[in-house]
Structure 1
Amino acid sequence: MTPEDTPVTPWFRTGRLHFAVGIEDTFVPQEDVGRRRLDEYELTQHYHQWRDDLSRAKDAGADMIRWGIPWYLLEPEPGRFDFEWTDRVVEHLDRLGLRCMVDLMHYGTPLWLDNQFLNHRYPEAVAAYAAAVAERYADSLDIWTPLNEPVVNAVYCGEQGTWPPYLRGDDGFVKILTRLARGMVLTQRRITEVQPSATFVHVDAGFRWTGAWPPGEREHLQERRFLGLDLVLGRVHEAHPMRAYLTAHGVTDAELDWFTAHAVTPDVIGVNYYPAFTTAERDPTTGTVHPAEAGTTGLADLLHRYAERYEQPLFL
């Protein structure tokens, strides 16, 4: 067997502990009455300090970094890409020897995509953008997160009306989540076409609930937190506990069958945990819900749940 034929152990199965840091990268560029756009790279001055930011990550001892691409700036018009800034960042990552986990989608769509995630072109558009990035940086970037926190994205954009397209309720949640999941599937498939050696880290934020809840509500939320990943993995079969919920809010059997037929599997499950935010506690007297500090107990509980459900390596 020649050296070229020797199997290469994937980075996530070497037995090493990987230490990564990240740059917060929420991009919601749309503006509305009383609402301003949100670009965390502007707020943290990363567009100006990027070279020092990345160098400090290396100096801190990190061997990996989670870093996102501002899609709305990279593709200012459909099919027209401006790689100038990203080229410089990727070149510096190479120079530092920092392996990058690329966060392709972090909440916001480009301005030209009317109605954002509801636009019929969204799943294909996000996949085309991802493939263009993967093809350009095939020699430097090979770890991809198709979309950050699908369920949280669906809550903010579809259930609570916080971000575009400002939908509310269960109907809005389901509409957004299914569009996001379809985009995630197509993104992983398109990247694999142009970069067969790519690996995928699907990042979720799994919430927890404590206190006294009305009958069935806590159980519903506990299952719903996994729904984004379950759709992408093609797990929402006839016996799935959330299938009736999806169909009751407009998802057809044909749409769910599409996910089963086109399922993709990530190599790693990323779990975002916020000690004072991930756990929600309900006051039995008032019915109000507020964040509760859960510390390492909440962390251990969440990681065990993801490990048992998906049986994949975890990245915290």
Structure 2
Amino acid sequence: MHAPSLFDSFFMGGFECSTHRRQDGRRLDLIEGTAHHRWAREDYAALRRQGLRTVRDGLRWHLIETVPGHYDWSSFLPQLRAAEGTGTQVIWDLCHYGWPDDLDIWRPPFVERFARFAAATARIVREESDRIPFYSPLNEMSFWAWAGGEVAYFAPLGTGRGDELKHQLIRASIAAIEAIRAVDPRARFVQVDPVIHVVPRGSRNSEQEDAERYRLSQFQAWDMLAGMQWPGLGGRPEYLDILGVNYYDNNQWFMGGGTLWRGDPLYRPFSGILAEVYQRYRRPMLVAETGAEGEQRADWLRYIGEQVHLALQRGVPLEGICLYPILDYPGWTDDRHCQAGLFGFADATGQRPVHAPLADELRHQQTLFAAMAEQLARQA
């Protein structure tokens, strides 16, 4: 059985930090929308009280580099210093779907600017912290390529250009990794993408082939980073450091539409998906995002905990589970109150209500995984 060792805590919290522009042109800023920008220190301290000493959080590139080559760190330093002050380990998202308005994401300067921004970030982090830094360069490149390049769900609002956008994001991720390693060779990288399962509605060979082709597309970005596909993009195995897999209750569906819900005989256990990813890449892994809304939150964490435990028993090197988002947030499209977090919206003093059923289940899962860790330590 694998013994996790990379992060300060096996259970983590992820702060929603999307900064993309919607179809109507409005830019989202979920760090501001959840008031995390104002209460970062209080938020980190609240997570630590729940045993979450490692978090995912993000930078807002569009605020930091409003003028090309000039960096205003005033939106980032409070988060960075709050993490240091509370002893919180952070995996920093450098770009969570958003970029400066003057940049054309389709053109070569996007890659060059992102690399310079990544290097500048690494210098700031190195100056402020002695910790080994963790970065996620570009969040969910596969989903971003689909949402932004294929179906115009959000910026850059492309249609039929998903592969083109994916290639550009791969180039940018590689350039950022090289730039950061030149500044701080200790840096570690979490490459985050969703994992899915797709099944055909019928039994015809063509339907099965289409579903399997779609299912296998989940691996394209990681394959490209590793140089297994489109090697002309510059991919190499060393660009796959830690794999971050994102998984929610709607990550399985029927080809052509319709969610495949847990409990359906065709539903694939999450532990099997994790094992397949590990067999393909042989890299340490992190469940980088998982969660549910409303009263489903505790039950979903129970299921994920069971499946991760099974995967660990089978030798899959899983390093943690990140509850995402850890805060309730205003919905992307309609600003509705998405009750998905362990914590709700902050009051005037930065205090947030705790969703008790999820907190109880989290404590139960922490106890189970701590017992497993003790057993492994005795066996060592």
- TM norm structure 1: 0.80
Counterpart in the other structure of 1:161: 152
Answer yes or no: is 1:306 the counterpart of 2:266. Answer: no
2:164 paired with 1:175: yes
Which of residues 249, 253, 278 in structure 1 aligns to 2:251?
278
Pick the aligned partner of 2:103 from 110, 113, 129: 113
**1:59 aligned to which of 18, 38, 49:** 49
The aligned runs of 1:229-240 (5 Å cut-off) are 229-236=222-229
Partner of 1:38: 28
Shift of 1:107: 1.0
Q: Deviations over 1:41-71 (max 9, x none)?
A: 2321222232322221111111211001011
Q: CA deviation at 1:219?
A: 1.8
1:146 aligns to what?
137
Paired residue type of 1:217:
D
Conserved 8 A contact 2:222-2:240: no
Root-mean-square deviation over aligned CA pairs: 2.3
Query: Displacement, 1:227?
Result: 0.6
**2:179 aligned with 1:209:** no
Tell me which amino acid in the other structure corresponds to 1:229. Answer: W
1:201 Cα offset (Å): 1.0
Which has the higher mean CA deviation after the structures are superposed, 36-45 or 295-304? 295-304
Q: Deviations over 1:288-307 (max 9, x none)?
A: 40223237954212211211
Distance in 1, Cα, partners of 2:137 & 2:189? 8
Once the 2 structures are TM-superposed, how far is the Cα of residue 14 of structure 1 from its aligned partner? 5.8
Q: 1:292 to 1:43 in 2, by over 3 A?
A: farther
Aligned to 1:200: 189
- How far apart are 1:210 and its partner, in Å? 2.4
Question: Whose relative contact order is higher, 1 or 2, with alpha carbons under 8 Å and at least 6 apart?
Answer: 2
Q: 1:225 aligns with which of 193, 218, 224?
A: 218
Calculate the TM-score normalised by the size of structure 2. Answer: 0.67
Shift of 1:16: 7.9
Task: Give the 3 Å change call, closer, same or farther, for CA 185–204 of structure 1 in structure 2.
Answer: same
Of the three residues 57, 61, 69, the one matched with 2:59 is 69
272 and 31 in structure 1: CA distance in 2 versus 1, 3 angstrom threshold: closer
Give SS of 1:192's match.
Answer: helix
The CA distance in 2 between the partners of 1:15 and 1:208, in whole Å, is: 28
Q: What runs of 5+ residues in structure 2 fail to find an aligned partner?
A: 288-380
Amino acid at match of 1:272: N
15, 21, 40: which one aligns with 1:50: 40
Which stretch of the first structure deviates more once superposed, 129-138 or 215-224?
215-224
User: Is 2:13 the counterpart of 1:21?
Assistant: yes
Cα offset for 1:38?
Answer: 1.5
Which residue is 1:266 aligned to? Answer: 240
Q: 1:185 to 1:264 in 2, by over 3 A?
A: farther
List gaps (5 residues or longer) in structure 1: 1-10, 237-242, 244-255, 283-287
User: Secondary structure at 1:38's aligned position in 2?
Assistant: coil
In the alignment, is the contact (CA less than 8 A) between 2:9 and 2:53 conserved in 1? no
1:129 maps to 117
Cα distance change of structure 1 residues 173 and 31 upon mapping to structure 2, 3 Å threshold: closer
Give the Å deviation of 1:112. 1.4
User: 2 CA distance for matches of 1:187 and 1:92?
Assistant: 25
Q: Retained in 1: the 8 A contact 2:41–2:86?
A: no
1:145 Cα deviation after fit: 0.7
